[in-house]
Structure 1
Amino acid sequence: MEWNNMHEVLRSLYDDMLPLAGQMAAVAKGAAGLGALFYVALKVWQALGRAEPIDVFPLLRPFALGICIMFFPSIVLGSINAILSPIVSGTHGILEGQVLDLNSLQEQKDRLEYEAMVRNPETAYMVSDEEFDKKLDELGWSPSDLGAMAGMYMDRSAYNFEKMMKDWLRNLLEILFQAAALVIDTIRTFFLIVLSILGPIAFAISVWDGFQATLAQWFTRYISVYLWLPVSDLFSSMLARIQSLILERDIAMLADPSYIPDTSNTVYIIYMIIGIVGYFTIPTVTGWIIQAGGAGNFTRNVNQTAMKSGNMAGAAAGSVVGNISGRLMNK
């Protein structure tokens, strides 16, 4: 819930800073007006110099851009956000459905694992205090019984320590996973705020002859960055679905009374590492949907950061998983 609140704060930040685009429009109108004057004068002089009729339609372009600048937050940003918002809502709905299924399956698996370990006399005393006390009562005070008691305490302590380490690693990777998503969302919000506030300036510059490509670049970059969130939700939905399939398989295997559950959560940890690295590829994937020029350096830096973070997370997780798996194998 805390992570969701942080994402909501970023949404509110974007909405709160959106009116600043209207204030920037006052500066942009002057630059656009001067550019329109030179643009119209140049086209008219060219037509007169060539003794050609004046084509009025191209001369309407500066006036259309001027109207967009005057009503930039409502006409330009409002129209784009209204078109793209259903995409964000749709992908977020997919994510919520997958996460809900994942949580219910995880609760079911945890319950079945506990029941399976309680059914097994060799592991029941490690997870159940009642079974542990019951087994202690069955033992006497002979030297062999005292040795068995000491072994029980050692096994229970080792099991609790391993469980604590696995829970710690799982919580660490979940924090890194959520932090990666928050980093992408924060950068996305920053880019959208900059593009929104300085959008009127980009429109004003595009009025000048020779800078018409600025308008197309602004649109492609804004749409590309806006789509980071839907792509992020789809990626999270894919990971949640993979984990749901793994949990469904484990639940089916736990239905067998003779099956001994594996509580190492190695597969879950691996997919968390994949998710951490995968989040930093979202800008690249979004660039496949709509081509946004000028983002090559940023994408390259993001990919390098992803490789470094993936190596660090993989090394930390690999060492802990290796120790836990080795101890489980020895058992």
Structure 2
Amino acid sequence: MEWNNLHELLRALYDDMMPLAGDMAAVAKGLAGLGALFYVALKVWQALSRAEPIDVFPLLRPFALGLCIMFFPTIVLGSLNAILSPVVTGTHSMLEDQVLDLNKLQVQKDQLEYEAMIRNPETAFMVSDEEFDKKLDELGWSPSDIGTMAGMYMDRTGHQIQKAIKDWFRNLLEILFQAAALVIDTIRTFFLIVLSILGPIAFAISVWDGFQGTLGKWFTRYISVYLWLPVSDLFSSMLARIQSLILERDIAMLADPTFIPDTSNTVYIIFMIIGIVGYFTIPTVTSWIIQSGGAGNFTKNVAQTASKAGGVAGAVAGSAAGNVVGQLMKK
């Protein structure tokens, strides 16, 4: 199976396990109902003990959470996935465009590199059987040329062994690179499945007084984990773009007939290692994107600012009105 098929398999696994969230809703409804009973009773008792009118609006919170629990796969998960899926689609299309350009540039560079080695008489026999046979025919079979022929065989064999080792190491790094991306996607799918299946329980617990923060934490973690894949695609797009720029520079240098190419691929190997390490920083990066509590503090600050502004405006208006009344009384 190809790597893309494995990622598609994880997405299919997530879709197949989503109905289990509806099964967990039956347990969550009982827990939420008991929490709603205590929550409403406490709020009503507090209002009656203080001889205050009962505020009905806060009492609607348990009923709204109950509706979310009853239709959790449709209302909650369906809405979140519908909002966040365009982000995944957009970043994945960016990655596909960068990878497509990278593959084209890689083919072009390989062709130019082969042509450059063919142009150089000292390296042509290493990469081409025709040039190797041609050079042997030019040398002939005299005893004085035996040493030169043995050196040619040794150089050609050494070049092939060196190329085989470099290709093996490069393929190993590419496998590790793809494996790192697959590890991130697998852990992401596992976290999303756990958060989705146990989501109704989190909603039910948030009904109880004192556990309201559970709801915000659940949304924060679900969105943060969901964004692992878009951030991973952005990171892969960045690496692919860097490699494209390196290949474009190499292609420009290979256009010079006097340039002798370097087949070590050291820069490519370095960026593959950077990519493998960088993939495991994605969970930390996504935790910076969304954090719970920010909206509440923002609303609180806005309310305080509005209250102060209203007080200042009232004081100014009262002072102005007092001055007008005083002047009229004097007249």
State the TM-score, normalized to the length of structure 2.
0.87
Superposed CA deviations along residues 120-173 of structure 1, whole A, max 9, x for unmatched, are: 111110000000011111112222211111000000000000000000010000
- Contact 1:202 1:215 (C-alpha < 8 Å) held by counterparts: yes
Q: In the aligned structure 1, how far is the partner of 2:144 from the partner of 2:77?
A: 79
Q: In the aligned structure 2, how far is the partner of 1:284 from the partner of 1:8?
A: 24
The correspondence of residues 186-201 of structure 1 with structure 2, limited to 5 A, is 186-201=186-201
The correspondence of residues 174-213 of structure 1 with structure 2, limited to 5 A, is 174-213=174-213
Match of 1:120 in 2: 120
Match of 2:165 in 1: 165
Q: In the aligned structure 1, how far is the partner of 2:79 from the partner of 2:102?
A: 36
- AA at the equivalent of 1:214: T
The correspondence of residues 233-244 of structure 1 with structure 2, limited to 5 A, is 233-244=233-244
Match of 1:81 in 2: 81
Q: For 1:141, what is the secondary structure of its paired residue? A: coil
Q: In the aligned structure 2, how far is the partner of 1:111 from the partner of 1:198?
A: 54
Match of 1:5 in 2: 5
Q: For 2:122, what is the secondary structure of its paired residue? A: coil
Question: In the TM superposition, what is the alpha-carbon distance from 1:291 to its structure 2 partner?
Answer: 2.4
Match of 2:276 in 1: 276
- AA at the equivalent of 2:197: I
Tell me, yes or no, if structure 1 residue 17 matches structure 2 residue 17. yes
Superposed CA deviations along residues 214-235 of structure 1, whole A, max 9, x for unmatched, are: 0000000000000000000000
Match of 2:140 in 1: 140
The correspondence of residues 1-331 of structure 1 with structure 2, limited to 5 A, is 2-291=2-291
Q: Which runs of 5+ in 2 are unaligned?
A: 294-331
- AA at the equivalent of 1:84: L
- Contact 2:216 2:292 (C-alpha < 8 Å) held by counterparts: no
Question: In the TM superposition, what is the alpha-carbon distance from 1:96 to its structure 2 partner?
Answer: 0.3
- Contact 1:77 1:196 (C-alpha < 8 Å) held by counterparts: yes
Q: In the aligned structure 1, how far is the partner of 2:109 from the partner of 2:17?
A: 45
Question: In the TM superposition, what is the alpha-carbon distance from 1:292 to its structure 2 partner?
Answer: 6.5
Q: In the aligned structure 2, how far is the partner of 1:143 from the partner of 1:46?
A: 111
Q: In the aligned structure 1, how far is the partner of 2:227 from the partner of 2:282?
A: 9
- Contact 1:221 1:292 (C-alpha < 8 Å) held by counterparts: no
- Contact 1:118 1:128 (C-alpha < 8 Å) held by counterparts: yes
| Identity rate, percent | 87
- AA at the equivalent of 1:40: V
Q: For 1:249, what is the secondary structure of its paired residue? A: helix
Question: In the TM superposition, what is the alpha-carbon distance from 1:288 to its structure 2 partner?
Answer: 1.1
- Contact 1:65 1:203 (C-alpha < 8 Å) held by counterparts: yes
Match of 2:322 in 1: none
Match of 1:307 in 2: none
Q: In the aligned structure 2, how far is the partner of 1:19 from the partner of 1:140?
A: 78
Match of 2:315 in 1: none
Q: In the aligned structure 1, how far is the partner of 2:198 from the partner of 2:292?
A: 17
Match of 2:312 in 1: none
Q: In the aligned structure 2, how far is the partner of 1:140 from the partner of 1:119?
A: 22
Q: In the aligned structure 2, how far is the partner of 1:36 from the partner of 1:288?
A: 34
Q: For 1:60, what is the secondary structure of its paired residue? A: helix
State the TM-score, normalized to the length of structure 1.
0.87
- Contact 1:18 1:196 (C-alpha < 8 Å) held by counterparts: yes
Task: Give the CA RMSD over aligned residues.
Answer: 1.0
Q: In the aligned structure 2, how far is the partner of 1:80 from the partner of 1:260?
A: 55
Query: Moved runs in structure 1, 4+ residues, more than 4 A?
Result: none
Q: 1:292 to 1:128 in 2, by over 3 A?
A: farther
Q: Which runs of 5+ in 1 are unaligned?
A: 294-331
- AA at the equivalent of 2:205: I
- Contact 1:224 1:292 (C-alpha < 8 Å) held by counterparts: no
Superposed CA deviations along residues 75-106 of structure 1, whole A, max 9, x for unmatched, are: 00000100001100000000000000000000
